[in-house]
Amino acid sequence: MLGQTTTFLWPLKTCMFFAAFVCACGLSLVFPIVGIVNYMLVYQLHPGKMWWGQPLEDLGIRYSMTAAMCLVLGMLLSGGRVPRSKTLLGSWLLLVLFFTGIVLWSFALNPGTTDYGAILADKMVKMAIFLICLVRMGSVRGNFKVLLWTFVIGTIVIGYDALGAPQDDFADGRLNFVGGPDFRESSGLAVHMAAMIPLIGVVFMVTKAKQWRAVAVLSGILAINTIVLCRTRSAFVGLLVGGSIALLMVPRGWRLKIYSVIIVGCIGAFSLADEHFWSRMTTIMRPDDYASDGAIQSRIELWTVAREMFLDHPFGVGVGRFKDYAHLYNTGEYLYAFEEPGRVAHNSYLLCITELGIHGFAVFVVIICIVLVKLRRCFQLACEADEPHASRLLAYGCFLSVIVYLTSAAFTDRLYTESFWWVLAMPVCLERLLTAEVIEQEELEPELTPAWDPMYDDEFINIPTADSPRCAFT
């Protein structure tokens, strides 16, 4: 009977997401760059925690794993659409793989490893595989711009979710439980959004179409609003450091525009910030109040614990084990650090050296140094690239995003966060694409340059140098 029939209906948003996800997985088998976008958006969206994603839970789909498998399979099947590269991996990716090996060895070596450590080890393997795909696919200009727009769209999705967050998602006036699995607490969410702001600004500057510029502006507004709702001091410090460097290192030819964007952005941020936000931020400038601020004091005391833990275990306590070992150093003098069980280190660098040891920390530092070296090379190569002005700006934005994330990581745990490694990978992608463009131009140069004739020496076409008008950025 019709009246006794139970119909199985999904909400419209559920149907739209499921259809888009299936199409993206299918397209990634032919166009691997779609697989990159699909993986990054699913990671930022975290559909399993959304109300419209609950009806799909019974299907048992692992969205990130499915997207990653389709991406890898697409790169194997669609070799013609995978950018060619003389270097299969390169020094940075090799070190990332070596670092992943240290994580796995740490998990296997230390007795009493936990389920949390197994999750982090599995996550690091997945991240390493995706980073290989990301660097390979992002090494051409068109794909690199797609990556930037993926950050923009992901920020809009997270920012819109934060804008409509219910009161239950706030703890002590701070937003939580929004965004991907690495953004479920306020500090991680705010730091991610802070690192996205320089990349969003670059997209706004290099985009010519007004309607797409408006999309970038919307993304920036939502990012700032989310940071304000999180009221996180680590992200604020990262933005202060990044903003100071941004003012000092503005590329020639962009100074007036960038200064204007920074000023307008600051005015917008001040208009969105409320009294509660500023009451937390001003505590950074009052060292006398640190002893009475529970959050600040707990960080100081946890950092002391991390130092003692490293001295006792110079080769690391094992991935994911800081929480398990921290309580062993509670001598009664730490008033705030252990009010809650299983507290985190609140410092990515101390977390690395305590869990992975001095050797893991050394590899991590070298990974960061290589990123900074590649950024310096990006600024140099931009002069001879296909779009020198835009290339210089892209290097500038990637540099600021890295600085914001590295600074903020000193006050929160970002070591096993995927977006942290994405930001570190962006300069690697940019350096590869700029190098390929310069090599291609050098190969074409003999065809474009007329034979040298002493009578027409002044008309001889020279390869651009740092002093040529092409690289002046004026």
Q: What is the pLDDT along the chain (474 residues), one digit of tens a residue?
A: 444 443 457 888 888 888 999 999 999 999 999 999 999 999 888 887 777 777 777 777 788 888 889 999 999 888 778 887 777 788 999 999 999 999 999 887 776 667 888 888 889 999 999 999 999 999 999 999 999 999 999 999 999 988 888 888 887 778 888 877 887 788 889 999 999 999 999 999 999 889 999 999 999 999 999 999 998 888 999 999 999 998 888 887 778 888 888 888 888 888 888 888 888 888 777 666 665 566 677 778 888 888 889 998 899 888 988 888 887 776 545 444 444 545 678 899 999 999 999 999 999 999 999 999 999 999 999 888 888 888 999 999 999 999 999 999 999 999 999 999 999 999 999 999 999 888 877 766 654 444 444 443 433 334 444 444 445 443
Task: Give which of 264, 274, 333 is closest to 298, Cα–Cα.
Answer: 333
Distance between CA atoms of residues 33 and 141, nearest Å: 12
pLDDT score at 291:
59
DSSP lists the bridge partners of residue 175 as 170
- Residue 467, both tokens: 């002093």
In three-state secondary structure terms, 335 is: coil
Task: Give which of 321, 52, 54, 43 is closest to 182, Cα–Cα.
Answer: 43
CB neighbour list of residue 66: distance below 8 Å, 6 or more residues apart: 25
Please report the beta strands in 90-130, taking only residues with DSSP state E, as ranges in sequence order.
none
* Rg for the chain, CA atoms, rounded: 24
pLDDT score at 168:
80
Which run of H or of E encompasses 28? helix 12-28
Ramachandran sector of residue 218 (left: φ over 0; alpha: ψ -120 to 50; beta: rest): alpha
In three-state secondary structure terms, 449 is: coil
Phi, psi of 153 (to 5 degrees): -65, -40
CB neighbour list of residue 465: distance below 8 Å, 6 or more residues apart: 383, 471
Distance between CA atoms of residues 404 and 418, nearest Å: 16
Task: Give which of 457, 463, 432 is closest to 137, Cα–Cα.
Answer: 432
Task: Give which of 406, 408, 420, 393 is closest to 201, Cα–Cα.
Answer: 393
- Residue 164, both tokens: 């409509």
Distance between CA atoms of residues 157 and 176, nearest Å: 15
pLDDT score at 352:
94
Cβ 390 vs Cβ 232: under 8 Å: no
Distance between CA atoms of residues 137 and 32, nearest Å: 8
pLDDT score at 221:
94
Cβ 93 vs Cβ 131: under 8 Å: yes
Distance linking the first and last C-alpha atoms of the chain: 77
Distance between CA atoms of residues 120 and 7, nearest Å: 40
Burial class of residue 218 (count of CB atoms within 10 Å of its CB; 0-12, 13-18, 19+) = middle
pLDDT score at 218:
95
Cβ 248 vs Cβ 403: under 8 Å: no
Q: Residues, the chain, total?
A: 474
Strands 170-171 and 174-175, sheet pairing: antiparallel
Distance between CA atoms of residues 372 and 378, nearest Å: 10
Distance between CA atoms of residues 275 and 369, nearest Å: 39
Cβ 25 vs Cβ 34: under 8 Å: no
CB neighbour list of residue 221: distance below 8 Å, 6 or more residues apart: 159, 268, 272
Largest CA distance in the chain: 98
In three-state secondary structure terms, 60 is: coil
Cβ 124 vs Cβ 156: under 8 Å: no
The label of the residue with tokens 């700006």 reads 393
Angle between helices 418-448 and 348-381 (to 10 degrees): 10
Distance between CA atoms of residues 126 and 225, nearest Å: 31
Task: Give which of 235, 261, 231 is closest to 246, Cα–Cα.
Answer: 261
- Residue 35, both tokens: 């697989």
Return the exposure string of 29-58: e unless at least 16 CB atoms fall within 10 Å of the residue's CB, then b: bebbbbbbbbbbbbbbbbbeeeebbebbee
